Structure formats: C-alpha cells, structure tokens
Amino acid sequence: MVRLRALSESSPVAPLAAAFSKAGFELALVGGPVRDAFLGRDAKDLDFTSNATPDEILAVLSTLTKSTWDIGRDFGTIGALIDGEQVEITTYRSDSYDQQTRKPVVAFGDSLEVDLSRRDFTVNALALRLPELVLVDPSGGVEDLLAGILRTPSTPAISFGDDPLRMLRAIRFSAQLGFDIDAETLDALATMGGSLKIISAERIRDEFSKLLLTPTPRRGVELLVETGLAELVMPEIPALRLERDEHHHHKDVYQHSLTVLDQAIELEESRDSFEGPDLVLRLAALMHDIGKPATKRLEPGGVVTFYHHDVVGSKIAKKRLRELRFDNDTIHDVARLIELHLRFFGYTEGAWTDSAVRRYVRDAGPLLERLHILTRADVTTRNTRKAHMLSFAYDDLETRVAELAELEEMQAVRPDLDGEQIMAILGIRPGRDVGEAYRFLLEMRLDDGPLGEEEATRRLLEWWAARQES
C-alpha cells in the first residue's frame, strides 16, 4: 500500500480527489495504475471512475483546469489536462452487449463494484477509492496479481462474448506482465476465436501492435499460434511451421523467426538511435521469412530451397498489413526491409566494390539502421564459426558504410549536377531527356564517387554526343 499511498498523494491525483470529494461525488483510481502500483511499476495512464455524470464531471474539472475534452462523452468519459498530466474520468458503467458487433449498449451505473465486474481481467478490476484510500477488489484481483494469473471477473464465455477483443488483450497482457493465462480462460481463447471476426481490422491491428511493442512479445506470438488466434490475425506466422520429413530436414522457420524477433529487440535496445520499441523493425523481424512457404522446393539430395522468398515475402507482407489497416509508411517500410534482408549475404561471397556499398545504402535509404539490425538478427546458426564469420563480415560492411558516408555524405547521394544545370549545359527543356541524363550522372556518382562539376560536365557532354549519334 506504500506505492498506492504515494500515488494518491501525487499530482494530479490529490487535487482531483479533493475536488470530487468537495463536490459530493465518489472518485476512484481504477485499472492499470492500481495494478502497476502493486507490481512496482510506474503508472503511465491515469484512469478514474466516478458516480458523477459526464456533465457533473466537466463541472468539477472546470474548477481545476480549462483544458478538457469530451470526445468520449457518449461513453461517459471526459478527459482533462491537469498539472501537465492527461487524465480520464468515466461515469460508472453497467453496459450490455448485443453479441453481434461488440458495440455496447451504454448504460451508466451507480456502483463501483458493478463497474469493476464488467472489466476485462481481475488484475485490472481493482480500484482505489479517493481520498479514503480504500482498495476495492470484488473479484480477487490482488490474489491473481500475486500468483501471476490472468483470469476474467465473470466466466470467459461471458467476458469474451461481450467483447471478443479481450482475447487478444489476454495474450498481450500475458506477454507484457509475464503472467500465465488460467486454464479456463485459455480454453476459451482456443474455442471462441471465431468471434474475432466481428472486430474491426483497426482494433485488431492496434492490439497486435501493442503486443509487438511489449518487452517480450515472443511469448504472446506463441500464444497466438497455440490458441489458433494467429490464423485470424496473421495466418502467415503459423504457416511458417513447415512440415518436416525424415528425408528433407531443414531449419524450423517458425522458431527461427521468433529468435530473429528476440535478437532484433536486443540489438534495438543496445543502440542509441532507437528511443523506444520500434514497430517497423519488429514487424519486419517477425515477417521476414513469410515468403518461404510459397517458395519452398525440395531439391535432389534432400536440399530445401526458398528462392526469391524475400521478394515474395515483401508482397505478402504488403497484402497482410493493408488488410490490417496499417498506415502506408509502415507498410512500405516493413515490405522494403523484407525485400532487402538477404542483400547482405552476397557480401560474404566476395568483397564488394565501393559502388556496391553505395547502392546498398541508397537502396536502404532511411531504413539503413533497421536493415543493419534485421540482417544481424537473422543469423541464428548454432555453428559458432559461421556465426563469427557473418558477424565479422557485417562489422566490416558497417565500417565501410560509415567511412564512405563520412567521406561522401552518402546518406543523400546525388549527382554532381542538378536538373537545372543539366538543361543549361545541354540546352534542353524539361522532359524525359533530363531524367535520363540525371540517372546517367547518378550511376557515375555511385560507381566512381564524387566527380566534381567540371568532370561531371565533361562526361555528360560525351554521353549526350554519343546519344545524339545513335
């Protein structure tokens, strides 16, 4: 209770509690902040509930701040900015669901206990009455916290029937908190998955993204596959469990992909260029081999090949991420990383020229740092000698990239002459010829490095003369 007391005395909790008490209304801190206080974690989002109506909540908040918003008024939620912190206060709810669209028939209640009983899991169905500091725990959430168990306040059938998205939340919380899902709830995940079909793609995308952004998403991905929910969210992942037979042995692509995800997260966390979890990198790590099932071939002698799985996988990733309503930038970046993730392995077959290194950087563009990490993470061999060889080769490549970047500002490779200069030198107007001349100079730049304006002009005129003669 020490952390709970400290939380209750902090801003903006204390002034809110005082204001609601003075106005004659109940107020309780609810859900995540209370749970996290018991777990010794910092509270990120402050959610409150009250017997006050939305209009009454606004009236109380107006005594504390001018920054309020009522975008969630229809659901009883009013937001405010108090002492620089965002808070949300929701009127007690006693909703019912139509079981077809998961949209609740909103009904305001007058009991904190009833409000808590409609929440997703017992560990989130905790409240701290303010300012009295009375813990309200009608469903045994504290005991489940201590045991590390996720369980629904009502039966899983009722809870997931009311809101099927809670099935994905169960998996996300299991990964986020490191909790086990109790047997009855786990069985419901496996048998009620079909009801996710009434959930919008956007909501599924958001929950899946939150899972991937947890410190250890592998646990959650494995649960998605084991319960069958992955078939409804991202079926390409369970498809990676390629069949083995006694004659054609090959690496377990599913387990390999999970290991790549783990290793990408370790590398991400070790680099200062990443301020927090990177969704694009984690999606690319998980999905980098999803083209393998479609390209699998059994060759003579028991060799298994997956030719062009990088290109095929990139196309599959685009399709899946579009269906999940990811934004265009995320779709493009993930697909591009998958397409490029094998490019490095040609480096181990022979030293690249400077122009090849420049092209590697040019093709990666702003994704270069992510591509560095994805390529390193993709090494999961148990052959220590081979692992060391690949690591050394990539160290060498990164060193060369850094050296060339320092010499040439390679991150923004451009020809020595721009479009205006090309038109002036050749005496031509805007059109296809200017574009072709620009691409010619860009190839010269990539092959030979900076040429200088005089040399670039000489080569451009030679190219143009030869073009005119032909």
Q: Are residues 290 and 353 in the same domain?
A: yes
Q: How far is CA 197 from CA 84, 119, 201, 211, 229, in A?
A: 39, 21, 9, 19, 11
Domain count, the chain: 4
Q: Are residues 229 and 310 in the same domain?
A: no
Q: Is 281 exposed, middle or buried (0-12, 13-18, 19+ CB in 10 A)?
A: buried
Residue that is last in its domain, among 195, 213, 233: 233
**CATH assignment of the domain containing 399:** 1.10.3210
Q: Are residues 315 and 188 in the same domain?
A: no
258 residue type, one letter? L
**CATH assignment of the domain containing 180:** 1.10.110.30
Q: What are phi and psi of 225, to 5 degrees?
A: -70, -45
Distance CA 371, CA 356 (A): 16
Q: How far is CA 457 from CA 414, 418, 435, 463, in A?
A: 15, 11, 16, 10
Q: Are residues 266 and 359 in the same domain?
A: yes
Q: Are residues 277 and 407 in the same domain?
A: yes
**CATH assignment of the domain containing 118:** 3.30.460.10
84: Cβ contacts below 8 Å, ≥ 6 apart: none
97 residue type, one letter? Y
Where b means 16+ CB within 10 Å and e means fewer, 325-359 reads ebeeebbebbbbbbbbbbbbeebeeeebebebbbb
127: Cβ contacts below 8 Å, ≥ 6 apart: 28, 29, 30, 31, 34, 49, 112, 116, 135, 136, 137
Choice among 160-164, 228-232, 286-290 with the minimum mean pLDDT: 160-164
Residue that is last in its domain, among 233, 258, 280: 233
Q: Are residues 351 and 283 in the same domain?
A: yes
Q: Are residues 256 and 390 in the same domain?
A: yes
Q: What are phi and psi of 325, to 5 degrees?
A: 65, 35
Q: In this predicted model, what pLDDT tens digit does every residue of 398-450 receive, in sequence order?
A: 888 888 777 655 545 678 899 999 999 999 988 889 989 998 998 888 888 88
Range of the domain at 228: 148-233
What pLDDT sits at residue 313? 97
Q: Are residues 216 and 243 in the same domain?
A: no
Residue keyed to tokens 């306040």: 153
Distance CA 217, CA 461 (A): 57
Q: Are residues 390 and 286 in the same domain?
A: yes
Picking from 162, 168, 165, 166, the residue whose alpha carbon sits closest to that of residue 95 is 162
Q: In this predicted model, what pLDDT tens digit does every residue of 297-342 receive, in sequence order?
A: 888 877 888 999 999 999 999 999 999 999 999 999 999 999 999 9
Q: Are residues 162 and 229 in the same domain?
A: yes
Q: Are residues 279 and 408 in the same domain?
A: yes
Q: What is the pTM of this model?
A: 0.82
Q: Are residues 290 and 433 in the same domain?
A: no
Residue that is last in its domain, among 412, 435, 455: 412
